[in-house]
Structure 1
Amino acid sequence: MLFAILLPGISMIFRGHVLKGILCGILHVTLIGWIPAAIWAVASYREDLAEKRHRETLRILAQQGRL
């Protein structure tokens, strides 16, 4: 998460969000835009973690025959 705060555009690109990463990098270039870019990157990181947990929960439920 620290990487998302310090280099928001690059962290998005590493997670597979290329277009978002480029836009975030452009926003990050300006001093005023760094704060919104960092917030956007952290929110995107948290969203990716939530989606991963959701997929894992669905996989476990499917294995148990509840889904």
Structure 2
Amino acid sequence: MKVFGTTKLTFEGHEIDFSEEWGIVSFKGLLQQDIGLDVDSYGSSQELLTAIQAKIFSSNTKIYTL
């Protein structure tokens, strides 16, 4: 509100309303939900990173970074 004077923003054609209550989701949960990876099935962080990269770059999955 302080930055933009509103709680609603448009990002890539989608309106986001920050005045609404937002659920809490873990990063692990997002990986499972959005790209179908079970974090617990990988033995190391490098194996998980490789799997994430393979999933993302082999599909049209959009990555948002700041």
Q: TM-score, normalised by structure 1?
A: 0.28
Higher strand share: 2
Q: TM-score, normalised by structure 2?
A: 0.28
Higher helix share: 1
